Homo-oligomer: A and B are copies of this chain.
Amino acid sequence: MHRPTLEDVARAAGVSRATVSRVVRGDVGTATRTIERVERAVRELGYVPNSAARVLASGRPNTIAIVVPEPDERIFSDPFFGLATSGVSERISGTDMQLVMAFAPTSGRPTATIQFLLAGGVAGVIVMSHHRSDGLTRAALELPLPTVFLGAPLLNGDSEPARAHVVDTDNEHGGRIAGDRLAEVGVRNPATITGPMDMHAAVARLDGWREAMGQAGLSFSTFEGDFTEESGRLGVATLLDRDPGIDGIFAASDLMAVGAFKELERRGITPGREVRLIGFDDFAAADALGLTTVRNPAVDLGRQAVAMLTELITTGEAEESRVLPVELVVRETA
């Protein structure tokens, strides 16, 4: 089939090549009626602009894919996800690469996702927000494509992360400094609300916390949350019903800390006075509530993932793991 050209569109629309070119580029200042005529001709002929056609013909993969689990309320309501993605986008924007996000099923083998990634257009992959239980982690580890994990990948049955190219937060140190701080401000009966234990970030934060508690000679109670606000609320309710004497809580994400904060207030307890509270992330909500928290460099994780991936794509190798530092942000609650 003859591929329609700019000339074909100009002829069909009864305008000059320059006019077609202007309309196709999206330049302002062309009369609406002319734009409409050109657009109709473009549609009817199925014209593909030349610049796109040229790159198409070259066949070089130009897509960077962020792979995430299927969206539910959690993935878009957790600011971490948006911040890390904007860090990736910032570094890809303005290059000739196209950023896409591919949604993988939360259970079973992600056949359609793998098919998409291997179809030829994808130059590199960033895997985000993966859980041990999803088939995605294993599938992503097998990919014959440059792949970077944002957060260390756990496989079923393993407690240590699988070997992979990883950009991660120093989660263990984060848990450690949260525990140190609570001990330092005089907490004697602490508790922690952890993230889901099938995510390495949750395991590592708990490891660091446990170490701090051991050093301070404190025992603690635990509630396993899932990084959502609701699980933070439920965590406080469960922990305080079990032991009303709890005087300090480390919630391993800010969303959970917000839920914990609200549930404490609902019970007439002032966070920071009767019960000290520390979160993890340092989202806008933490500042608004006066929440002491551990700063998680989410945007920078996204940027660093692009840097590592670019290195993998261009040279075929990169350091195995890059760990970004955290710091304690002290506000009113601890």
Contacts from A to B (Cβ < 8 Å) = 23-26, 28, 32, 35, 39, 42-43, 46-49, 51-52, 55-56, 62-63, 65, 70-73, 75-77, 79, 81-82, 85-86, 89, 93, 96-103, 105, 108-109, 111-116, 118-121, 135, 138-139, 141-142, 144, 155-158, 162
8 more contacts with CB within 8 A, not counting A25-B109, A28-B156, A71-B89, are A35-B157, A39-B141, A43-B142, A55-B112, A62-B116, A73-B82, A75-B82, A116-B121
Residues of the B chain whose Cβ atoms lie less than 8 Å from the Cβ of A162: 39
Q: Check B96–A112 contact: CB distance below 8 A.
A: yes
Partner of A97, one of B23, B24, B112: B112
Complex Cα–Cα for A144 and B47 (A): 8
Chain B residue with the shortest CB-CB distance to A44? B144
A50 vs chain B, min Cβ distance (A): 10
Alpha-carbon separation in the docked complex, A77 to B101 (Å): 17
- Find out whether the CB atom of A70 lies under 8 angstroms from the CB atom of B93: yes
Are A82 and B77 in contact (CB-based, < 8 A)? yes
How far in angstroms is the closest Cβ of chain B from A40? Answer: 10
What are some 9 contacts across the A-B interface (CB < 8 A)?
A: A23-B138, A51-B111, A55-B112, A56-B119, A70-B99, A76-B76, A77-B82, A98-B102, A98-B103
- Give the number of copies in the complex: 2
Give the most central of A76, A79, A138: most B CB within 10 Å. A76
Q: Quick one: closest B residue to A119, CB to CB?
A: B121
Which of B39, B109, B118 is within 8 Å of A142, CB to CB?
Answer: B39
CB neighbours (8 Å) of A99 from chain B are: 70, 102-103
Inter-chain contact A28/B157, CB cutoff 8 Å: yes
Residue of B whose beta carbon sits closest to that of A158? B32
Assuming the contacts A26-B135, A46-B144, A52-B118, asked whether A76 and B85 have C-beta atoms less than 8 A apart, the reply is yes
A11 to chain B, nearest CB (A): 17
Given contacts A51-B111, A62-B116, A116-B63, contact A142 B35 (CB under 8 A): no
Q: Which of B77, B81, B100, B135 contacts A65 (CB 8 A)?
A: B100
Alpha-carbon separation in the docked complex, A184 to B311 (Å): 63
Q: Is the CB of A115 within 8 A of B52?
A: yes
Residues of B contacting A79 in the complex (Cβ-Cβ under 8 angstroms): 76-77
**How close is A41's CB to chain B, nearest CB, in angstroms?**
10
The residues of B that contact A52 with a CB separation of less than 8 Å are 111, 114-115, 118
Q: How many Å lie between the Cα of A300 and that of B102 in the bound state?
A: 21
- Which B residues touch A102, using CB under 8 A? 98-100
Contact A157 B32 (CB under 8 A): yes
**Residues on B with beta carbons closer than 8 Å to the beta carbon of A73:** 82, 86
Please state if B85 and A112 are interface contacts (CB–CB under 8 Å).
Answer: no
**A126 to chain B: closest CB distance in Å?**
13
Report how far A35 CA is from B157 CA in the complex, Å. Answer: 10
Q: When chains A and B are docked, how far (Å) is the Cα of A81 from the Cα of B158?
A: 36
Closest B residue to A82 by CB, please name it.
B76
Q: A142 near B42 (CB under 8 angstroms)?
A: yes
Q: Tell whether, in the assembled complex, residue B82 and residue A71 are in contact, meaning their CB atoms are under 8 Å apart.
A: yes
On chain B, the residues within 8 Å of A89 by CB distance are: 70-72, 103
CA gap between A134 and B112 in the complex, in Å: 31
